[in-house]
Structure 1
Amino acid sequence: MCVENCPPPSNRLTRRGVLAGAAALAGTTAALAAAPGASATAPMTRASAARSGNAPRGGDLVIDGGTLLDPATGEVTEDAVVVIRDGVVRAAGPRARVDVPKGSTVLDARGQWVLPGLVDSHIHLNTAAEAKTAVRLGATSARSGSTNFYQDIAVRELARQAPKLAPRLRAAGIFVTPDLGDTVLGDPDLTPLARLSDGVRSAEALRRVVQVNLARGADVIKTRVNERAGLPEQDPLAQVYSYEQLSEVVAAAKRGGKGVLCHSYSEKGCHDAVTAGITSLEHGAFVGERTLHEMRRRGTYFTPTMIAIAGMIGSSDPVLDERGRTYLPKLKAAALAAHELGVPLVSGTDSSGGEVEPIGSEIELMHSAGLSTLDAIRTATVNAARLLGLDGTVGRLARGFAGDAILVSGDPLADISVLKKPARVVRSGIAV
């Protein structure tokens, strides 16, 4: 059954609607309500918020005396000063070359290392509590791996209105998957898909889910080619979408100016996804050499999410325990092979269900796979920033970049594990 005879999805991504969703998640409806008289149809932007008198504003802060690491260059600056105004870095460097405005609020970083805020390139943020935890663990920016009912759209707006409560977020909306389950209730424009006896498989059905996501304001589209590894009753090597179906998803996303991240495990599934034109390959434990070469040629990113696979080891379910023990070495080998070939690697925790993993744990696993400490750090800074389209905004503490930072208690180049427990986090110039 096709769904082409249904009216196209309406564009209900309104300023009032998005703010209301964010407020509901945060429990602060009054504080985040839309300003009286504001247009009910204009999407929220910094400019429109400023016109309404409700513009989000970053903080003013000086991070003083730490050892500053620039992941882009590898440069280490001792006794450094970072000046942040209105949530943006105005100056960063050795004390002798940085003018500190009088009366500045100072965060003492002596004895600590200072790095840009980290980026989690695959995380599922369904609640305000999860979003806040992610920030506290150092992920000041993130890319959603989808949510059940568009919670990530609201989390994205929460991050704009109250930066210390949520990471700067690229939202994926809902998963383009054969069985939507209760997610079909996420938007009235999805409900016609409930009539389909074989689920979301036809070209028309695939396009509709993408169109509804775009109408709701998704920044990226999430789909799959294989079943899940984390469910013992599923076979992660079983393919659920063909090359042709994946191509429909990619084409529909491209018409909306968006890229696609794809959940995948088997070599054939990975190859079909990459050649269909996805932007990033997620998980990919059994990705093969021919596919990695294709990824390098196309500039396709690889998000191994090793911490999610490692988390299955020791499970009370013997299937999951065995799966974790089998998949993790293969995933580490795939990540190292990708890195050596020049495939861009990014870190993602695949956190979900209320359990938020520190992005530093994935960086540590990248290092244990064979990457140098600096290259491992780059997977959650400059590499991830490029994937998210934020390479001029996050991933470094340099003039004009966002005032997002983490302070750690030791030298991450000597002991990368310190990234798992930041001593302090700064989000948009606000100490969290």
Structure 2
Amino acid sequence: MRKLYLLLILLQIASLSAAAQTTATTRTLLRTGHILNVKTGAEPAAQTIIITGDRITAIASTASTPKQSGDTEIDLTKYTVMPGLIDVHTHLTMANNFDPYFELSMTPAKEAIIGVENAKVTLEAGFTTVRNVGANDFTDVALRDEINAGHVPGPHMQVSGPALGITGGHMDENLLPYEYHAHGQGVADGVPAVQHQVRENIKYGADLIKIASTGGVLSKGDDPQASQYTMEELQAIVADAHRLGRKVASHAHGAQGILWATEAGVDSIEHGSYINDECIAAMKKRGTYLVPTAYLVDWMRENGHLPALYQQKMTDVSAAMKANHKRAIAAGVKVALGTDAAVYPHGLNAHEIDVYVNQYGMSPLAGIQTGTINAADLMGWTDRVGTIEPNKWADIIAIEGDPLKDVRLLQHVPFVMKSGVVYKNETNKQ
């Protein structure tokens, strides 16, 4: 009897093992019209992307890739297929509402719920990977973890938690009077304090460190052109972050803050509105990325209704930003796509590429590269995302038409796959 019992257990284990092996080898075959190679611009026709689990396992001609038993086929033969897009400057847990009362009435619960909604919208817009650069109460950490656990749909995320800033600066809470003694969660002054804040953010789950090197637009009482952190503070932040394996993204509008942050070793300059020749030279020397967040200027001009305490700053920054960006790009500063989504509605992220191509003079391929290989490089994720290649995550979108002829096609994405799971498929509605 004991031998029979052991035999039954062994048979059950063998059965489960065989089932697991069958599941592991089940393939999805994406039959494509063309695949856009975002490195070279080549668009080979009639290729099949073979996916097993969450990874791309191979790419082969469709003619030489017959369907096998258990395979799932997806017909994208009328579409151009390309890697999922990447936005390295989002605020998924924030809404497009800058009324001071709305800001003051925000709670962690509201931020979390807003984040769930915006994560889905962003993913369905074709952005399968994002960096979230600034969120209170580590709500972006919670959102990332719930997406990774499969509980809610959303892009792959790197998150910063509360952004670091000086007392009274862009990351502080400046709307309330003195008697409330309110402070932003990431406020830290002096070298010991900024070191502590970097370490605390990492303790609670931050993948990167976000800082404010200058004043900002959507904050009360500070000047976007004024530098905020000192060089000593910036160097301490970067040293601790890099030693602990985290990159540093620096909000910086003014030229001095851009220069100091670059010389201190940050990995990216976010916004860069008043970038000048000295900043450009320093960024090129160090390989620092510019994250332009440029489409928000157009959206705000056409649709924005900011409170008076923000509006003049937005007008001033908008007047300077684009000409300076064009000069930096022409000089060869590296660019990664970032939008500041939340300043305008989430899901419009691909409009940023339109600005790079049709206003800044990039080629369509170079514009697409900002949101694929460049963004992946900035994130340190070139082994996972940014191209359609074997062993990378199966993060794939399909476009009707050729985005190298019209990048505006990226604003309408009918098919989205992330990690081998289809989250949007409107191709069968044609």
Shift of residue 105, structure 1, vs aligned partner: 1.8
Please name the residue that 2:125 is paired with. Answer: 137
Once the two structures are superposed, the pairs formed by residues 145-164 of structure 1 within 5 Å of their partners are 145-162=133-150
- For residues 388 and 72 of structure 1, do their structure 2 counterparts lie closer, same or farther at Cα, with a shift above 3 Å needed? same
Q: CA deviation at 1:285?
A: 0.9
Question: Mean Cα displacement is larger for which, 252-261 or 419-428?
Answer: 252-261
CA separation of 1:311 and 1:245: change in aligned 2, threshold 3 A:
farther
Q: How far did 1:74 drift? A: 1.1
Alpha-carbon distance between aligned partners in 1 of 2:414 and 2:162, rounded to the nearest angstrom: 34
How far apart are residue 255 of structure 1 and its match? 2.8
- The verdict on how the C-alpha distance between 1:59 and 1:419 changes in structure 2, with shifts beyond 3 A counting, is farther
Please show how residues 27-426 of structure 1 align to structure 2 within 5 Å.
60-98=27-65, 100-126=67-93, 127-162=115-150, 165-179=153-167, 200-231=188-219, 234-314=222-302, 315-317=304-306, 324=314, 327-328=317-318, 330-352=320-342, 355-368=345-358, 369-426=360-417
Q: CA deviation at 1:397?
A: 0.9
Quote the offset at 1:93 in angstroms.
4.1
8 Å CA contact retained: 2:220, 2:310: yes
**Unaligned regions of 5+ residues in structure 2, if any?**
1-19, 94-114, 175-180, 424-430
Contact kept in structure 2, 1:335 and 1:366, CA below 8 Å: no
Q: State the shift of 1:372 in Å.
A: 0.3
Please report how far the alpha carbon of residue 157 of structure 1 lies from its aligned counterpart in structure 2 after TM superposition: 1.7
Provide the C-alpha distance between the structure 1 equivalents of 2:66 and 2:285, rounded to a whole number of angstroms: 45
Displacement after TM superposition at 1:252 (Å): 2.2
Q: Once the 2 structures are TM-superposed, how far is the Cα of residue 200 of structure 1 from its aligned partner? A: 2.1
Contact kept, 8 Å, 1:64 with 1:81, in 2: the verdict is yes
Distance 2:220 2:198 in 1: 29
* Contact kept? 2:269, 2:289, Cα under 8 Å: yes
Cα deviation for residue 298 of structure 1 reads 0.7
TM superposition shift of 1:63: 1.6
Q: Contact 1:156–1:169 (CA<8 Å) still a contact in 2?
A: yes
Corresponding residue of 1:429: 420
From the superposition, tell whether residues 87 and 195 of structure 1 become closer, same or farther in structure 2 (CA, over 3 Å): closer
Q: In 2, Cα distance between the equivalents of 1:181 and 1:266?
A: 18
How many angstroms does 1:99 deviate by?
5.3
Which amino acid letter does the alignment assign opposite residue 132 of structure 2?
A: S
In the TM superposition, what is the alpha-carbon distance from 1:231 to its structure 2 partner?
4.3
Which structure: larger Rg? 2
Query: Structure 1 residue 236: deviation in Å?
Result: 1.4
TM-score, length-normalised on structure 2? 0.78
CA deviations over 1:243-262 (Å, ceiling 9, x no partner): 22212211221231212100
8 Å contact 2:67–2:73 — kept in the other structure? no
Residues 343 and 232 from structure 1, CA distance in 2 versus in 1: closer, same or farther, beyond 3 angstroms? same
What's the RMSD between the two structures over aligned residues?
2.8
Q: Write the letter of the residue equivalent to 1:374.
A: L
Unaligned runs of 5+ in 1: 1-52, 184-192
Q: Take 1:121 and 1:206, find their aligned partners in 2: how far apart are those partners?
A: 23
- State the distance in 1 between where 2:76 and 2:376 align: 25
Q: CA offset at residue 240 of structure 1? A: 2.0
Q: What's the secondary structure of 1:359's corresponding residue?
A: coil
TM normalised by structure 1 equals 0.78
Distance in 1, matches of 2:183 and 2:334, equals 41
Give the Cα–Cα distance (whole angstroms) in 2 for the partners of residues 222 and 325 of structure 1. Answer: 25
Does the 8 Å CA contact 1:311/1:324 hold for their aligned counterparts? Answer: no
Distance in 2, Cα, partners of 1:174 & 1:97: 51
Q: Which residue of 1 aligns with 2:178?
A: none
Contact residue 60 and residue 430 of structure 1 kept, 8 A: no
The DSSP-based 3-state class of the residue aligned with 1:281 is: strand
Matched residue type, 1:305: T
**Counterpart-to-counterpart distance in 1, 2:340 and 2:60:** 34
Once residues 354 and 361 of structure 1 are traced to their aligned partners in structure 2, the CA distance between those partners, rounded to angstroms, is 11
Q: Could you list the per-position Cα deviations for residues 48-81 of structure 1 after superposition, in whole angstroms to 9, with x for gaps in the alignment? A: xxxxx9xxx9995322132110101211012221
Q: Secondary structure at the residue paired with 2:345?
A: coil
Cα distance in 2 for residues equivalent to 1:243 and 1:98: 58
Q: Aligned AA for 2:162?
A: I
Cα pair distance change 1:233/1:374, threshold 3 Å: same
Structure 1 272/84 Cα, relative in aligned 2: closer, same or farther at 3 Å? same
Distance 1:354 1:367, change over 3 A: closer
Whether the 8 Å contact between 1:247 and 1:277 is mirrored in structure 2 is yes
Instruction: Give distance in 1, aligned partners of 2:340 and 2:56.
Output: 30
Report the secondary structure of 1:229's partner residue: coil
Instruction: Provide the aligned length of Structure 1 versus Structure 2.
Output: 366
